[in-house]
């Protein structure tokens, strides 16, 4: 064929919105994942003053429902994602304030950072919030927050908004009153499902509310970490526990999972990489997260993102104190799709 004929074929095909597979560059079916965003770190010293200053700009329920700063990755501006699948956000509520009830299809997990006396109600089930607690808001669950204590209350939210939007399934609905009424006794989910291995034999619907454990208090997470620290340390993560659904043993929610890990003083882990993306929140201590060739030093309150298929390792920089990292990842979603892969560094 003469070159002109060649050229006109390609032009004609593309004019009809068709792309010859043999002419598509390698990124279309790459040998390995090519994540379209880089590792990133948000420093608490930058976030905290701006979260506090937000009190001057909005009150929950007036011109917005939540006083929240979304961690928007500079490489993901079109979705405002923190990773390509999930959002990390920081929320602050002041005494006497009420964040009104609504529900949305993106699900949420919450990790409580500081303050005392705030409550969240999910589907009529009121739960306490204390530092280190881990709470769930499943898809399409009514939820509101109120603060009856003193001083600012701060927590971290993790939501699968970018994923839900990608699927084309974002829905939001306001509740028919500002706040929900409590329909089950306080702390019921913890009483019914919070003792590992012992669950109610029969469960009247009326009392089941959300039907599974919705809040994981810090003292139990602490206990679980202590128990495994000397027994089954993970060479890539230190001592790590995963929040799970006590009734199924599976992930707490279908798309997002969470872990808490402890690194001993000066502990340094080996490297691994996996196809899930992770947002780490530095809960206690000071450490360093190696992503690729770069070490990212972190202090309490920092958030760091590891994109899929990036080698990473942890180091505790303290000679005397343990370091604690809370992490949110999309591993349950990736695994459910049959796409979870991990590679470890044997050196
Ligand atoms: C949301 O509804 C909450 O209900 C928190 O507390 C953070 C971030 C983006 C979109 C919705 C909440 C959020 C959010």
Cα 79 to averaged position of ligand 1 atoms, centre (Å): 15
Instruction: Give mean pLDDT, residues 12-20.
Output: 97
Please state the three-class secondary structure of 230-258 as a single string: CCCCECCCEEEEECECCCCCCECCCCCEE
Give the integer Cα–Cα distance in Å for 270 and 130. 33
Instruction: Give mean pLDDT, residues 299-305.
Output: 98
Res 202: pLDDT: 84
Instruction: Give mean pLDDT, residues 310-339.
Output: 98
Cα 269 to averaged position of ligand 1 atoms, centre (Å): 34
Burial class (CB in 10 A: 0-12, 13-18, 19+), 18: exposed
Q: Of all atoms in ligand 1, which is nearest to the CA of residue 137?
A: 4
Please state the three-class secondary structure of 172-206 as a single string: EEECCCCCCCCCCCCCHHHHHHCCCCCCCCCCCHH
Name the residue with the closest Cα to ligand 1, atom 1: 66
Res 310: pLDDT: 97
Give all strands of the β-sheet with 286-291 in edge-to-edge order: 294-299, 286-291, 312-316, 272-274, 342-344
For residues 68 and 312, is the Cβ–Cβ distance under 8 A?
no
Cα 101 to averaged position of ligand 1 atoms, centre (Å): 11
Res 207: pLDDT: 66
Q: Which of 79, 89, 104, 279 to probe ligand 1 with, by most ligand atoms within 8 A of CB?
A: 89
Name the residue with the closest Cα to ligand 1, atom 14: 66
**234, pLDDT greater than 80:** yes
Residues with CB under 6 A from ligand 1: 66, 68, 70, 87, 89, 91, 108, 143, 157, 159
Cα 321 to averaged position of ligand 1 atoms, centre (Å): 33
**265, pLDDT greater than 90:** yes
Q: Which helix (H) or strand (E) holds 92?
A: strand 87-93
By mean pLDDT, which of 205-219, 256-270, 272-286 is the weakest? 205-219
Give the integer Cα–Cα distance in Å for 119 and 96. 11
The Cβ of residue 5 has, within 10 Å, a number of other Cβ atoms equal to 8
Tell whether the torsion through CA atoms of 316, 322, 323 and 326 is positive or negative: positive
**Per-residue model confidence as pLDDT tens digits over 20-68:** 999 999 999 999 999 889 999 999 999 999 999 999 999 999 989 999 9
Cα 313 to averaged position of ligand 1 atoms, centre (Å): 30
The 8-class DSSP code of residue 79 comes to T
Res 208: pLDDT: 73
Res 149: pLDDT: 95
**2, pLDDT greater than 80:** no
User: Phi then psi for 212, rounded to 5 degrees?
Assistant: -155, 180
**206, pLDDT greater than 90:** no
- In the chain, where are the structural domains located? 33-193+201-342
Q: What band does 232 get if pLDDT is binned at 50, 70 and 90?
A: confident
Res 1: pLDDT: 62
Q: Of all atoms in ligand 1, which is nearest to the CA of residue 104?
A: 2
Q: Which of 121, 147, 159 to probe ligand 1 with, by most ligand atoms within 8 A of CB?
A: 159
Res 65: pLDDT: 95
Instruction: Give mean pLDDT, residues 123-143.
Output: 97
**5, pLDDT greater than 90:** no
Query: To the nearest 10°, the Cα dihedral for 167, 168, 169, 172?
Result: 140
Res 32: pLDDT: 95
Cα 141 to averaged position of ligand 1 atoms, centre (Å): 12
Q: Of all atoms in ligand 1, which is nearest to the CA of residue 120?
A: 6
Res 35: pLDDT: 81
Cα 104 to averaged position of ligand 1 atoms, centre (Å): 9
**174, pLDDT greater than 90:** yes
Cα 66 to averaged position of ligand 1 atoms, centre (Å): 6
| Architecture in CATH of 33-193+201-342 | Sandwich (2.60)
Q: Which of 108, 122, 178 to probe ligand 1 with, by most ligand atoms within 8 A of CB?
A: 108
Instruction: Give mean pLDDT, residues 269-290.
Output: 98
Which percentage of the chain shows pLDDT scores above 70? Answer: 99
Cα 32 to averaged position of ligand 1 atoms, centre (Å): 34
Instruction: Give mean pLDDT, residues 140-148.
Output: 98
Tell whether the torsion through CA atoms of 187, 193, 197 and 199 is positive or negative: positive
DSSP string, 278-338: EEEEEEESEEEEEETTEEEEEETT-EEEE-TT--EEEEE--SS--EEEEEEE-HHHHHHTT
Helix/strand/coil for 13: helix
Res 347: pLDDT: 72
DSSP string, 113-153: EE-SSEEEEETTEEEE--TT-EEEE-TT--EEEEE-SSS-E
Q: For residue 246, which of 198, 279, 209 has the smallest C-alpha distance?
A: 198
Which percentage of the chain shows pLDDT scores above 90? Answer: 89
- Cα→Cα distances 291→88, 105, 180, Å: 19, 32, 43
Strand 143-147 and strand 98-104: the pairing is antiparallel
The mean pLDDT of the chain is 95
**Per-residue model confidence as pLDDT tens digits over 73-105:** 999 999 999 999 999 999 999 999 999 999 999
**Per-residue model confidence as pLDDT tens digits over 308-321:** 999 999 999 999 99
**233, pLDDT greater than 80:** no
């Amino acid at each position: 064929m003469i070159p002109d004929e060649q050229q006109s074929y390609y032009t004609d095909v593309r004019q009809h919105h068709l792309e010859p597979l043999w002419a598509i560059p390698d990124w279309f079916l790459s040998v390995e994942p090519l994540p379209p965003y880089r590792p990133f770190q948000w420093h608490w010293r930058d976030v905290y003053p701006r979260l506090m200053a937000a009190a001057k700009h909005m009150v929950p329920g007036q011109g917005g429902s939540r006083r929240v700063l979304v961690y928007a990755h500079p490489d993901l501006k079109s979705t405002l994602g923190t990773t390509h699948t999930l959002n990390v956000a920081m929320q602050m509520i002041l005494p006497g304030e009420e964040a009104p009830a609504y529900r949305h299809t993106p699900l949420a997990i919450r990790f409580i950072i500081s303050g005392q006396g705030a409550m969240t109600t999910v589907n009529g089930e009121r739960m306490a919030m204390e530092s280190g607690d881990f709470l769930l808001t499943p898809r399409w669950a009514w939820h509101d927050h109120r603060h009856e204590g003193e001083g600012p209350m701060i927590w971290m939210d993790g939501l699968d908004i970018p994923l839900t939007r990608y699927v084309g399934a974002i829905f939001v609905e306001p509740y028919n009153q500002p706040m929900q009424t409590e329909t089950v006794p306080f702390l019921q989910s913890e009483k019914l499902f919070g003792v590992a291995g012992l669950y109610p034999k029969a469960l009247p619907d009326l009392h089941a509310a959300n039907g599974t454990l919705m809040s994981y208090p810090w003292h139990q997470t602490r206990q679980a970490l202590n128990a495994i620290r000397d027994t089954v340390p993970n060479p890539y993560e230190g001592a790590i526990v995963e929040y799970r659904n006590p009734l199924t043993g599976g992930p707490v929610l279908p798309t997002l999972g969470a872990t808490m890990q402890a690194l001993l003083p000066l502990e340094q882990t080996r490297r691994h990489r996996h196809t899930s993306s992770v947002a780490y929140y530095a809960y206690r201590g000071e450490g360093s997260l190696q992503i690729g060739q770069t070490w990212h030093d972190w202090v309490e309150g920092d958030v760091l993102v590891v994109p899929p298929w990036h080698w990473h390792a942890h180091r505790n920089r303290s000679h005397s104190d343990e370091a604690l990292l809370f992490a949110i990842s999309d591993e349950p979603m990736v695994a459910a799709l049959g796409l979870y892969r991990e590679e470890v560094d044997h050196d």
